Chains A and B, each alone.
Chain A
Amino acid sequence: MTINFEVNGARRIFEGDPFKRLIDVLREDFALTGTKEGCGEGECGACTVLLDGRPVNSCLIPICQADGHRIETVENLGIPERLSALQKAFLEEGGAQCGICTPGMLLAAAAHLKAGGKADDLSIRRALGGNLCRCTGYQHIVKAVQKAAKAPRKPRRKKA
């Protein structure tokens, strides 16, 4: 089956098994290894990507369901030389330790802030409720998101 979709702003074509999981297509076919697999059952959120701007678990999506849709992975948030305010805040606040949960946390948090979500403790914890972290104890992650919420918005690159 041929799947036409958009990944991080670029048109992509995938030819292969329609039931290959989105996470495996991203990692194996497009070398986007920022997206991590934790549980493979929808519980941990390590595999979170944005589908048409909304956080979803890429371990639960067969690639056929991405046909005609827009996917964003952590690679789209920023690059080491030019990090997003959210990524900077995670570094500064100690929001990342081993890093396995971080891509998912960043995308879930980015979607929450972009959608105009509130920056109080409870709202952030609710928005990140589907993302487990075994290292930080969450406190630093919440602080990082709050810090990013206060940062002035940088003008973003125009999408194709």
Chain B
Amino acid sequence: MRGDAFSMRVFRPASPAEAVRLFAQNPDALPLAGGTDLMVGWNSGRLNGRAVLDLSRLEEWRRIEVTDEGARIGALATHSEIESHPVLLKRLPLLAEACATVGAVQIRNRGTLGGNVANASPAGDSFPALAVYEAFVHTVSKEGRRSLPILEVFAGVKRTALRPGELIERIDVPFLPQPPARQFFRKVGSRLAQTISKAVGAGLLWLGRGGVVLGCRIAFGSVAPTVRRLRSVEECLHSGRLTPETIEKACAALSSDISPIDDVRSTRLYRMAVSRNLLRAFLTGRA
């Protein structure tokens, strides 16, 4: 089967208000942003006969606004726009770096941050960065607006907490109160371009006098049904020094934070080992 254009109904709202109204009237419609996920499904014939709510005319949702507190990234901002945004590069480098690793240039020129989040793939590459920056996803529907912490958006593999008729309008990413002593983003895949992560991680570390860990936020993707903050690891590290013993304890704690699986791209064992290596490299200052 292939996509059958004749079978599709397409709505093209010109404003967010119209989009919300149309979505309330047609809750089965599929929102369409850059189409880099949706059109792959459509081309295979799986979405024939559906209604589509094309968001691409909503210029308001394409903007990236910078305030004193952080960045307000419109749901329709593309990975290309984020990876090349001068302020995001400086203040939210892990997110800019993550977006730069998505697909290849053709995908990044179309694929949006809102679509990445709404698609909720376990391998969504922007999620670990959004998790360590503690981003909020802002939604709108006929019922009103909601602001969800990024980790509460994901309900499972390809499932979100979005309600029928609800759209992501933007993603707010707060700037860090203090610059971290160390930070890292790493994506591990089988090649540089166009690769779905076997493991993807982001981390921030604040150190005080004498190397005491004042704070740390680490998150991994592709190693559980949804992106994971490494709470047990973070707890192990807090208030201590980064001695070899603490680091090994933290690496051991990793197995209670993530639950990788065997699939076509990799194995549970490989993902566990590579995650532990990424964590160790970060904590020992080699990443």
Residues of A within 8 A of B (CB): 1, 16-21, 24, 40-43, 45, 48, 51, 54-57, 59-62, 64-65, 67, 108, 125-127, 129-131
- Name 20 A/B residue pairs within 8 A (Cβ), A-sorted: A1-B10, A17-B6, A18-B8, A18-B10, A18-B12, A19-B42, A42-B36, A42-B107, A56-B109, A57-B36, A60-B110, A61-B35, A62-B32, A64-B10, A64-B12, A65-B32, A126-B192, A127-B105, A129-B104, A130-B103
Contact yes or no, B10 A42, CB < 8 A: no
Q: Besides the contacts A17-B8, A129-B192, what 13 more A-B pairs have beta carbons closer than 8 Å?
A: A1-B10, A19-B3, A19-B42, A41-B43, A42-B107, A43-B194, A45-B104, A48-B106, A57-B107, A61-B39, A62-B5, A130-B104, A130-B106
- Distance (whole angstroms) from the CB of B30 to the closest CB of chain A: 11
- Distance (whole angstroms) from the CB of A38 to the closest CB of chain B: 12
Contact yes or no, B43 A40, CB < 8 A: yes
Contact yes or no, B5 A19, CB < 8 A: yes
List the B side residues contacting A108 at CB < 8 Å. Answer: 105-106
- The number of residues on chain B lying at the interface, defined by a beta carbon within 8 Å of a beta carbon of chain A, is 28
Contact yes or no, B10 A19, CB < 8 A: yes
Residue-wise, chain B 200-211 has the 8 Å CB interface mask toward A (1 for contact) of: 000000000000
- Distance (whole angstroms) from the CB of A15 to the closest CB of chain B: 13
A61 is contacted by which of B6, B10, B110 (Cβ under 8 Å)?
Answer: B110
Query: For residues 209 through 255 of chain B, which have their beta carbon under 8 Å from a beta carbon of chain A?
Result: none
State A110–B52 Cα separation when bound (angstroms). 33
- Name the residue on B nearest A132 (C-beta): B194
Contact yes or no, B106 A62, CB < 8 A: no
Contact yes or no, A55 B10, CB < 8 A: no
Q: A41-B43, A61-B110 are in contact. Are A19 and B192 (CB under 8 A)?
A: no
State A62–B109 Cα separation when bound (angstroms). 15
State A41–B5 Cα separation when bound (angstroms). 16
B161 on the interface (CB 8 Å rule)? Answer: no
Contact yes or no, A126 B193, CB < 8 A: yes
State A43–B52 Cα separation when bound (angstroms). 23
Tally of contacts, chain A with chain B, CB under 8 A: 95
List the A side residues contacting B40 at CB < 8 Å. Answer: 41-42, 60
**Nearest 4 A-B pairs (CB), nearest first?**
A130-B104, A129-B193, A17-B5, A19-B8
Q: From B12, B39, B43, B56, name the one whose CB has the most chain A CB atoms within 10 angstroms.
A: B39
- Name the residue on B nearest A18 (C-beta): B10
Contact yes or no, B54 A64, CB < 8 A: yes
List the B side residues contacting A42 at CB < 8 Å. Answer: 36, 39-40, 103, 106-107
State A55–B108 Cα separation when bound (angstroms). 10
Q: A1-B10, A17-B8 are in contact. Are A62 and B193 (CB under 8 A)?
A: no
List the A side residues contacting B193 at CB < 8 Å. Answer: 126, 129-130
Contact yes or no, B39 A129, CB < 8 A: no
Contact yes or no, A65 B109, CB < 8 A: no
B183 on the interface (CB 8 Å rule)? Answer: no
B80 on the interface (CB 8 Å rule)? Answer: yes
A130 is contacted by which of B3, B32, B44, B107 (Cβ under 8 Å)?
Answer: B107
- Distance (whole angstroms) from the CB of A123 to the closest CB of chain B: 12
State A56–B8 Cα separation when bound (angstroms). 23
B109 is contacted by which of A20, A21, A54, A126 (Cβ under 8 Å)?
Answer: A54
List the B side residues contacting A43 at CB < 8 Å. Answer: 194
- Name the residue on B nearest A48 (C-beta): B106
Q: A1-B10, A59-B43, A62-B35 are in contact. Are A21 and B107 (CB under 8 A)?
A: no
- Distance (whole angstroms) from the CB of B32 to the closest CB of chain A: 8
- Distance (whole angstroms) from the CB of A131 to the closest CB of chain B: 8
Contact yes or no, B104 A54, CB < 8 A: no
State A125–B192 Cα separation when bound (angstroms). 10
